[in-house]
Amino acid sequence: MSRIAYVNGRYVPFAQACVHIEDRGYQLGDGVYEVCEIRDGAFVDERRHLERLARSLAALRISEPMPFASLRHVLRETARRNRVTDGLLYLQITRGVARRDHGFPDKPVKPSLVVTVRALDRKKIEASAMAGISVISVPDDRWGRVDIKTIGLLPNVLARQAAKDAGAKDAWLVDEDGFVTEGASSNAWLVTKEGVLLTRPSSNRILTGITMTVIKEVAASLQIRVEERAFTVAEAKAAAEAFLSSATQTVMPVVAIDGSPVGSGKPGPVTMRLREAFHRRAEIGLRII
């Protein structure tokens, strides 16, 4: 089954999918994106992802490439044509194609829209979750508006690579005061020795994850107390449990930070309860495939 991508109005074979060299996303990182989980042939939390997409577009004054009802159709059609029942949907919108100039094009251009779908190996992710992952801490040197989901991800790329180079799976970013902001592509969480969930409150220093929002609801339903405050790396190392959250990994146990084991050094019970309960709380759409 060959992969199909949606690019600016057409469904094209993956190998032939391309955008113009003067696309502002390609040249300037002038665009936004979303990643949504596909599970058992349905989108997970599509509504919330599209709401965040609308916010990101508005923040950068990029117009919608098409009405959201049509966009939802394109997302479905791309997933359907790829026959992906477990995987992720990637959608990217840039300001469009224009002669290279830092300011917005004088005459508005049509935003570019690309949608791809990729299968994920759920067994592999489950195995990872059973073992837990290790992270390293690195300075957060991103710009001041990481609450917008832009495609400009170079610091995140370098952080992830630093983790790989250090033999870890991921990186947690640390602000100038020593507090963890979030992961390279995820939100960061602790469970204290008292069983309280800790995560950084929404601000322009983190991307408010859709998974994070749902986890707060899951925690409330399980009567687990959530405290929204920043925590340091030292606090993380001394915590009972740690985990990260994202659409692709949902709740992923973190068992070591900078080489120090967290808690027992194994995935913790609160983390695993949240992981297990997550999809009962998330909004699962109608089956597409």
Q: Which residues bind ligand PDD (CB under 6 A)?
A: 35, 182, 185-187, 207, 209-212, 245-248
Least separation, in Å, of the C-beta of 256 and ligand PDD? 20
Instruction: Name the active-site residue from 124, 149, 216, 266.
Output: 149
Q: What angle do CA 4, 49, 160 make, to 5 degrees?
A: 75
Least separation, in Å, of the C-beta of 215 and ligand PDD? 9
Exposure of 262 in the CB half-sphere (CA atoms within 13 A): 32
Q: Please, what's the b/e burial string for 240-261 (b: 16 or more CB within 10 A of its CB; e: otherwise)?
A: bbbbbbbbbbbbbbbbbbeeee
Shorter beta-carbon distance to ligand PDD: residue 82 or 246: 246
Shorter beta-carbon distance to ligand PDD: residue 56 or 245: 245
Shorter beta-carbon distance to ligand PDD: residue 97 or 169: 169
Shorter beta-carbon distance to ligand PDD: residue 35 or 288: 35
Q: Distance (Å, rounded) from C-alpha 138 to C-alpha 243?
A: 17
Shorter beta-carbon distance to ligand PDD: residue 82 or 245: 245
* 149 part of the active site: yes
Least separation, in Å, of the C-beta of 247 and ligand PDD? 3
Residue 32: CB atoms within 10 A of its CB come to 26
Least separation, in Å, of the C-beta of 107 and ligand PDD? 32
With CB atoms as reference, the residue minimizing the distance to ligand PDD is 209
Are 3 and 83 contacting, i.e. CB atoms less than 8 angstroms apart?
no
Q: What is the CA radius of gyration of the chain?
A: 19
Least separation, in Å, of the C-beta of 99 and ligand PDD? 29
Q: Which stretches within the chain are classed as H helix?
A: 24-28, 46-60, 68-82, 122-131, 154-165, 210-221, 233-238, 269-281
DSSP letters for 169-232: SEEEEE-TTSBEEEESSSEEEEE-TTS-EEEPPPSTTS---HHHHHHHHHHHHTT--EEE---B
Are 115 and 46 contacting, i.e. CB atoms less than 8 angstroms apart?
no
Least separation, in Å, of the C-beta of 105 and ligand PDD? 27
Q: Distance (Å, rounded) from C-alpha 217 to C-alpha 201?
A: 15
Shorter beta-carbon distance to ligand PDD: residue 92 or 192: 92
Which of the residues are catalytic? 149
